[in-house]
Amino acid sequence: MRIRINDVFILTMAEGDDCPVRGDILIEGDTITKLSPEIVEEADEVIEGGGRFVAMPGLINAHQHTPMSLLKGFSDDLKLMDWLERKMLPAEARMTPEDIYWGAKLSMAEMIKSGTTAFADMYIHMNEIATAIDEVGMRASLTRGLVFLEDDGGKRLAEALELVDRWHGKAEGRITTMLGPHAPYTCPPEPLSRVIGMAEEMKLPVHIHLAETKEEIAKIREQYNQTPAEYLYNLGLFEKAHVLLAHSVHLNRRDIGYLKGMRGGVSHNPVSNLKLGCGIAPVTEMIKQGITVGLGTDGSGSATTVDMFEEIKAATWLQKLDYGDPTVLPAGQALRMATSEGAKLLNIAHQAGTLEVGKKADLILIDMNKPHLQPLHNAESLLAYSVNGADVDTTIVNGRVLMRNRKLTTIDEEELMKQVSVRSRRIVDGI
């Protein structure tokens, strides 16, 4: 299959490339094969840009719990632990594997419609999520979340390994896997060390929540007389595996030092942090210290939206506010966090995150022919500060068009809405 995209403003997001160039894009199979002012090759499908679209790499959501889309808006304005323990966990205990499948699809529909092409997911019933991804066509890195607060006879860990066995490298290579110990406060040293050892041996990345709230800092201090980052560092996590750290809001100077030089980095989730009142992550300082920082939404049970353009805005504005300085975290940097940096976190930088010949064709077309997106003085500014998810016209993953002219091609939206309506009501009823 060959797709030619004609006459668009191409923003590659490749190193040092911050100005869009008007031209054409050729996709052959799953790969970008040409970026040029004019391409004449025949194609099976031609998308006429007519100079109204910006083409950019698909956004990468580095921290998600996709099926939580079914819990969106059901329990807001609570403290994180109340929200999690009193609302989310009881609701999750009622979710069937089929609910998980439909919840993942709902989240993917929203992600594709707002320009996300790849995501990192941590949840339960991962086989159903992987099946949904296989069908829908997105790219993802999957982890079975591991909580070790009670003895389950090794059931959760066995499911985590089954996920790796069954799905790593599958769905035309769109699915990869990680190990997912949930957080320092749900993973005591012995089982956590075991998981870290497995990650090292199996060369698997580790996805874990870190230092999200002040309560977490107090709890880990009380239990282990350490900070959460110190706890992970002392267990050898940062030297033994590629690590994806979600949140990392409450890090002190020494904690940031532990993260320096690590493979992987931090998923900053500003909307979730704002909404749960967690605090402002030291993003500017981490970047200054050479730590890779990408962006994520967290599940829509907390953030309520998985539109990554909201995260881009929140990330840059929060740092400007925190420093009292509008020059901090400029537009281009925030866009890189949502694209090239996110790709590094998911360990897929060789495939995605920038538009370059030889990379997988994961890209979006944004319709700029709208009052709030004109004039086009500076594409990066408009993309970071003015565009929202609804401005995405076309989403392509692995050379396959998943949305064209805002119509999803791999998800039956009507059926999805029916399933979501019935299932979501049943899950939260009486909680």
Q: Which residues are annotated as a binding site?
A: 63, 65, 92, 144, 182, 209, 212, 298
Span near ligand LTUXU72L by CB under 6 A; candidates 104-112, 118-126, 158-166, 306-314: 118-126
Triad 18, 24, 26: Cα angle to 5°: 110
Site membership for ligand LTUXU72L, residue 145 (CB under 6 A): yes
Site membership for Zn ion, residue 92 (CB under 5 A): no
Q: Is the Cβ of residue 156 or residue 174 nearer to ligand LTUXU72L in the bound state?
A: 156
Minimal distance, residue 128 CB to ligand LTUXU72L, in Å: 13
Site membership for Zn ion, residue 311 (CB under 5 A): no
Span near ligand LTUXU72L by CB under 6 A; candidates 119-127, 233-241, 352-360, 411-419: 119-127
Minimal distance, residue 57 CB to ligand LTUXU72L, in Å: 26
* Nearest residue to ligand LTUXU72L on Cβ basis: 145
Minimal distance, residue 186 CB to ligand LTUXU72L, in Å: 8
Per-residue binding letters, 367-406, with ligand LTUXU72L (x by CB under 6 A): ----------------------------------------
Site membership for ligand LTUXU72L, residue 67 (CB under 6 A): no
Site membership for ligand LTUXU72L, residue 81 (CB under 6 A): no
Give the one residue of 99, 121, 298, 380 binding Zn ion; rule: CB under 5 A: 298
Gap between the Cα atoms of 325 and 203, Å rounded: 41
CA distances from 206 to 25, 118, 217, 294, 351 (A): 35, 17, 21, 15, 20
Residues sharing a CB contact under 8 Å with residue 232, sequence separation 6 or more, in sequence order: 184, 208, 210, 238, 258
CA distances from 322 to 263, 272, 281, 338 (A): 27, 17, 10, 20
Minimal distance, residue 87 CB to ligand LTUXU72L, in Å: 9
Give the one residue of 87, 182, 275, 344 binding ligand LTUXU72L; rule: CB under 6 A: 182
Site membership for ligand LTUXU72L, residue 255 (CB under 6 A): no
Site of interaction with ligand LTUXU72L (CB under 6 A): 65, 84, 88, 92, 122-124, 145, 147, 182-183, 209, 212, 272, 298-299, 302
